[in-house]
Structure 1
Amino acid sequence: MRRRLLTETWLVLGVSLGSSAIYALLRIVDRLTRPERLSQQTAAMNTSVTPDRPWLDVAYQLVGIGLALVPVLLALHLLRRDDPDEPHTMGFDLRRPGQDLWRGAALAAVVGIPGLGLYLVAKAAGLNTTVAAANLVGAAWFTVPLLVLAAAQNAVLEETIMVGYLFRRWREAGWGTWRVIVTSALVRGTYHLYQGFGGFVGNVVMGLLFGWLYTRTKRVMPLVVAHTVLDVVAFVGYSLVKPHVSWL
């Protein structure tokens, strides 16, 4: 039973964030072996695929967002075989919207401000790339909605897999609470290594905090809200501010 559960979790990770972690490890090796310093390199996110054909670019972005959520459906499907009440068991629902929203917003503030400081310090120390958070070409009407959808997709994917799903399965496999929290946080940090070591450390700390909170509340929805707010501010804020400043 234990072996089956662990195998299942590695397979789910293998088709989702685990594969991202492997690519991120290769990416950081690539960056560290380049002649230019890490702080002189740029990690581009949310990039256009066909900038010369906006209608097709929108299609690409929407399909990418949709396909990225398939592992979430897979994880929920696997959990529901054992617990028909899933996803309510992990608190991925709208049963407490007010409470989830204010807790998520407060958590976003707690994480976001120190996170920005860590990014700036790591970049100044040469340990992080310049993170270009939004690179959809043009100022078309669809830019902001696509960035908001991308932020929500990231939040749902990461929090339901890294917290809701893995915490349930690893505990069922006999792992202790802190082993689960730390392992999940380390995986979270690893798939952000493409940004540099600041991104790794910041996301490990975020994972530890989110994991600990989940063990207390048993609700993943505030984590989804907080993560969505953080990414919306990063993506949309970058896209709106970048044309007007030179230091981003």
Structure 2
Amino acid sequence: MTVATTVPTRRSLVSETILVLGVSLGASGVWALLSLVNKLTQPVALNRQTTAMNSSVTPDRPWLDLTYQLVGIVLALVPVALALHLLSRDRPDARHAMGADLRQPGRDLVRGALLAAAVGLPGLGLYAAARALGLNTTIAAANLSNQWWTIPVLVLAAVQNAVLEEVVMIGYLYARWLRAGWSLPVVMVTSALIRGSYHLYQGFGGFVGNLVMGLLFGWVYTRTRRVAPLVVAHTLLDVVAFVGYALLKGHLAWLS
């Protein structure tokens, strides 16, 4: 028995990406915009407000708090599975085609580390400048209670962020939008704008910094056709931010 296959139209491809974004990072962009509006309409200046990330849910019950954190990490990866599933319907080797695999571990680690270094210091400078200009909140990157599992959970959160953003925003969207006939510059800019949008909760500095990061990561992807180095770079950046903040927030005044 032969099963007829339907070639997806340009409209269906774009509609699919809107739906995937609607249940993942696109929805985060909407909430981030509302969060920014809320902060801008507060009587306190933006740079005098604090944005808390990786916060405890039930700090008085560590076992339940750990459960909340782990469930949140797992559920946040569902859009990744959805994106890969949708791509695999047209191309069974979709994961390998976008380089979301372990076929080049050494090269991916080196590329990722170099990319993280190239982004990290300029990003920190942009954050400091945006705060000084009153365009960004203070970022409290880690606010979990002090438990034996705090650091491992922060590392897992960093990995989750990296996998979600790079697989969906780069691997999936690039594949779908290019197949829909969009030009590469349009794909790169649109993806980067969405990436910036779901960081608006941090302020305008978070938006600009992540927009630039999205453009750079997109450019690297067009040269390597591998999201793995991007995942490595993103993970390293978030691990330094999350774990570094957790370890140093009581010792460095400029972190608060």
Deviation at 1:137, TM superposition (A): 1.4
- Deviation string 1:181-234 (CA, Å, 9 cap, x unpaired) is 000000000000000000000000000000011111100000000000000000
Deviation at 1:145, TM superposition (A): 0.1
Counterpart secondary structure, 1:247: helix
Q: For 2:196 and 2:142, how far apart are their aligned partners in 1? A: 20
Deviation at 1:247, TM superposition (A): 2.4
Tell me if 1:169 matches 2:170.
Answer: no
1:190 to 197, 201, 206: 197
Tell me if 1:115 matches 2:115.
Answer: no
Q: For 1:164 and 1:246, how far apart are their aligned partners in 2? A: 39
Tell me if 1:145 matches 2:152.
Answer: yes
- Aligned residue identity for 2:188: I
Computed over aligned residues only, the root mean square deviation of the Cα atoms, in angstroms, reads: 0.5
Counterpart secondary structure, 1:87: helix
- Deviation string 1:93-134 (CA, Å, 9 cap, x unpaired) is 000000000000000000000000000000011000000000
Tell me if 1:179 matches 2:186.
Answer: yes
1:73 to 66, 81, 89: 81
- Aligned residue identity for 1:246: A
Tell me if 1:244 matches 2:251.
Answer: yes
Q: For 1:59 and 1:28, how far apart are their aligned partners in 2? A: 29
Tell me if 1:157 matches 2:178.
Answer: no
- Aligned residue identity for 1:207: G
Q: For 1:201 and 1:32, how far apart are their aligned partners in 2? A: 17
Match of 1:225 in 2: 232
Counterpart secondary structure, 2:250: helix
Q: For 2:252 and 2:165, how far apart are their aligned partners in 1? A: 31
Match of 2:59 in 1: 51
Among the aligned pairs, what percent are the same residue?
71
1:125-136 alignment, distance < 5 Å: 125-136=133-144
Deviation at 1:243, TM superposition (A): 1.4
Match of 2:70 in 1: 62
Q: For 2:132 and 2:115, how far apart are their aligned partners in 1? A: 26
Give the unaligned 5+ runs of structure 2: 1-8
Match of 2:48 in 1: 40
Q: How many residues in Structure 1 have an aligned counterpart in Structure 2?
A: 247
Q: Structure 1 stretches (4+) deviating beyond 6 angstroms?
A: none
Deviation at 1:246, TM superposition (A): 2.4
Match of 1:28 in 2: 36
Match of 2:90 in 1: 82
- Aligned residue identity for 2:178: R
Q: TM-score, length-normalised on structure 1?
A: 0.99
Higher-Rg member (1/2)? 2
Give the unaligned 5+ runs of structure 1: none
1:1-16 alignment, distance < 5 Å: 1-16=9-24
- Deviation string 1:52-85 (CA, Å, 9 cap, x unpaired) is 0001000000000000000000000000000011
- Aligned residue identity for 1:241: L
